Amino acid sequence: MQTRITSLLNIRFPIIQAGMVWVSGWKLARAVSDSGALGIIGAGSMKPELLREHLQKIKAATAAPFGVNVPLLRGDVEELFKVILEENVTIVFTSAGHPGRHIEPLKNNGCIVVHVVANVKQALKAQETGCDAIVAEGFEAGGHNGVDELTTLALVPQVADAVKIPVIAAGGIADGRGMLAAFALGAEAVQVGTRFAATAESSAHELYKQKIIEAKDGDTIITYRNIVPLRALKNPFMAQVQKEESEKGMTRERMMELHAKGRERKGIFEGDWEEGEFEMGQSSGLVKEILPAAEVVKKLMSEYEEAKRKLL
Amino acid sequence: MQTRITSLLNIRFPIIQAGMVWVSGWKLARAVSDSGALGIIGAGSMKPELLREHLQKIKAATAAPFGVNVPLLRGDVEELFKVILEENVTIVFTSAGHPGRHIEPLKNNGCIVVHVVANVKQALKAQETGCDAIVAEGFEAGGHNGVDELTTLALVPQVADAVKIPVIAAGGIADGRGMLAAFALGAEAVQVGTRFAATAESSAHELYKQKIIEAKDGDTIITYRNIVPLRALKNPFMAQVQKEESEKGMTRERMMELHAKGRERKGIFEGDWEEGEFEMGQSSGLVKEILPAAEVVKKLMSEYEEAKRKLL
């Protein structure tokens, strides 16, 4: 399955493991990359020196290509990029912000830059800025999410029609059927988050992995909706946020106060059911077992072929 | 392309035109049915005797199978069913409510009953009640919408895994790529709304059709979110509702007051840009021209084949 994305990233399978806070350190990224897909280290939950440690470890462990995801709204984004360039990382995924001026030093150092977008306007902007590809991420995705609420099914073909650079589909894809659907819509690779979060090599807490396995179709919810929407599993903390939102509304300041207090760490990494945020996508209802990451890659490919054979 | 849905409904193509208020009268349904897909008369905007008139006209005009969509929260739903049975309609799509006790008289009279659902629980309930098939409709769909906000990409495979009866995918599907994606996810037919709303035979106002053609990806919005969510184009009236919702919240009573005052008629049928509701899905960004309905069916099929040829 060769596409412009597999050529660009020099990978065997058109599958990318999403960079996820507290989930995708060097162990998960390495396992995915060694399997022939692209593993991504999620820098969102790492201080610059911790990121350096993960980069050095993955480079020592594998010669396969891997990437780093950087949320651009981090205050210390320049320091993260400094580490990334010093450690000769060649693939950078940027999200949650405008790639703009950040692209230039990365491109000058030979980096491949892929930006995550949630509407057509952002996609055109990323292309104009010089990004090599984009991830078009739909409303069903876990974690931070676009305010336009465009779903993967509606977003991907509209983005694919608008840009010349290749499109990676994300949001709602947890098996080979979703992967085939993404390709039908014009994507040249898929980015998969939730399913890789529930793997043996994911650094998340066991309770968080278990909650993915148990989640039913309607169990995730969007909070902080008109500020920085976030999709997570319904739990006591999300219920509290939702109650406050519906009763009093939510300001950016109050959102920062609630969300920023290490809630992602509490939920995903520490398994604190009462007080943490358990970020996951609507596709959690499709994830039924915790497997090694390489098995997930293998399954996605075989499920893709099976779904394709069934097409009329 | 034979599936359990084409056999059940005795149609040539696995495409169903959604029943849409103020849009799908006998003219649109007849044009779609004559083309080999399934046309549906939207009873939601018709009094019982007007529905009878439409039924008599379509029966006089074509021998092809057609359906009627009935929103079950209508107060006079029993009268609508009486007309449907008296006029020997054989295909009934029910939505917005529980099929429950309504199914029995319909089934006893040989009707095929298909219920629209927005989550797995509703799908199982519909199957248990005796429905012959279900429509799994995602968050990207125009008009009334489920509170779980499950997208088509996440919903269809979870529903297809849960039920034995065949699944029709709806929401976000406006071209052959979306249709292929739906089949990849396990659907055996697609239900298409917005693209058929912008056809020559649609009874909607010309301005409404024009607005579909002009709509961009992020131009629709959900209002009345926690009551009976409704997706429509952003316009002055929707902005007013949204403002009120964010400032004061929205009660069911206030929603009825705002929505029920003929807003759908004003927008869709009368083209009142200031005061009406212009219901349409996120796929409106994919609709670029007003065509005869039969052309849309032909294009969906050829686009499907083209998208399938491009798959790796």
Report which residue type is found at B302.
Answer: S
Minimal-distance CA residue of chain B relative to A242 = B226
Q: How far away is chain A from the Cα of B28, in angstroms, using its nearest Cα?
A: 24
What are the tens digits of pLDDT across the range A26-83? 999 999 999 999 999 999 999 999 999 999 999 999 999 999 999 998 889 999 999 9
- Listed by number, the residues of chain A in 106-165 with a beta carbon closer than 8 Å to a beta carbon of chain B are 119-121, 138-140, 148-155, 157-159, 161
Res. B55: pLDDT tops 90: yes
pLDDT value at A246 more than 90 = no
Question: Among B158, B217, B308, whose Cβ lies nearest the Cβ of A120?
Answer: B217
Q: What is the pLDDT of residues B130-180, one digit of tens each?
A: 999 999 999 999 999 999 999 999 999 999 999 999 999 999 999 999 999
Q: What are the CA-CA distances from residue B214 to residues A121, B88, B219, B288 (Å)? A: 15, 40, 10, 7
Dist. CA B41–CA B26, nearest whole Å = 6
State the pLDDT at residue B261.
81
Alpha helices in B130-205 (DSSP H): 152-162, 176-184, 194-197
Name chain B contacts of A158, Cβ cutoff 8 Å: 217, 285-286
Among A2, A119, A286, select the one facing B218 at the smallest CB separation.
A119
How many CB pairs below 8 Å do chains A and B form together?
154
Q: Do B181 and A153 touch (CB under 8 A)?
A: yes
Q: In the structure encoding, which two tokens stand for residue B54, read together?
A: 């439409």
| Contact residues on chain A for B151, CB-CB shorter than 8 A | 138-140, 151-153, 171-172, 282
In this structure, the dihedral spanned by the alpha carbons of residues A58, A261, A82 and A89, taken in order and rounded to 10 degrees, is 30
Q: Tell me how far the alpha carbon of residue B91 is from its chain's centroid.
A: 14
Residue ranges covered by each domain of chain A: 4-203+287-310, 206-282
What is the CATH code of the structural domain delimited by A4-203+287-310?
3.20.20.70
**Separation CA A182–CA A141 (nearest Å):** 14
Examine the predicted complex and report whether its ipTM is higher than 0.90: yes
pLDDT at A247 (0 to 100): 85
For B277, residues 6+ apart whose C-beta sits below 8 A from its C-beta are B230, B232, B237, B238, B259, B263, B264, B266, B267, B268
Interacting residues of A66 by C-beta distance below 8 A, sequence separation 6+: A29, A30, A33, A38, A39, A40, A41, A58, A91
Q: Is residue A249 scored above 90 in pLDDT?
A: no
Distance from CA of A105 to the nearest CA of B (A): 32
**Tens-digit pLDDT profile for residues B248-259:** 888 999 999 999
CB B86 within 8 A of CB B68: no
In what helix (H) or strand (E) does residue A71 lie, and over which residues does it extend?
strand A66-71
pLDDT on residue A244: 93
Q: Contact B154/A172, CB-based, under 8 Å?
A: yes
User: A147 to chain B: nearest residue by CA?
Assistant: B218
Query: What does the mean pLDDT of chain B come to?
Result: 96
Q: Please give the share of chain B, as a percent, with pLDDT higher than 90.
A: 92
pLDDT tens-digit map of A128-157: 999 999 999 999 999 999 999 999 999 999
CATH code of the domain occupying B4-203+285-310: 3.20.20.70
Is A151 within 8 Å of B153 when comparing Cβ atoms? yes
- DSSP state, residue B18: P
- Average pLDDT (A259-274) is 95
Question: How does pLDDT run across B191-240, given as a tens digit for each residue?
Answer: 999 999 999 999 999 999 999 999 999 999 999 998 899 999 999 999 99
Per residue in A163-194, pLDDT (tens digit) is 999 999 999 999 999 999 999 999 999 999 99
Interface check B181 vs A, CB under 8 A: yes
pLDDT classification of B260: cutoffs 50, 70, 90? confident
- Of B121, B172, B180, Cβ closest to residue A151: B172
Q: Which residue on chain B is closest to A286 by alpha carbon? A: B158
Q: How far is CA B146 from CA A203, B71, B149, in A?
A: 34, 14, 6
Name the minimum distance, in Å, from the CA of A33 to any CA of chain B: 21
Is the Cβ pair B154, A311 closer than 8 Å?
A: no
User: Among partner residues A159, A282, A308, which is closest to B154 by beta-carbon distance?
Assistant: A282
Whether the CB of A82 is below 8 Å from some CB of chain B: the reply is no
Cross-chain Cβ contact A181/B283 below 8 Å: no
**Residue A231 and residue B151: Cα distance in Å, rounded?**
13
pLDDT of A102: 83
Which residues of chain A make contact with B307, given a CB cutoff of 8 A? 184
Contacts of B152 in chain A (CB under 8 A): 151, 153
- Work out the average pLDDT over B108-131: 97
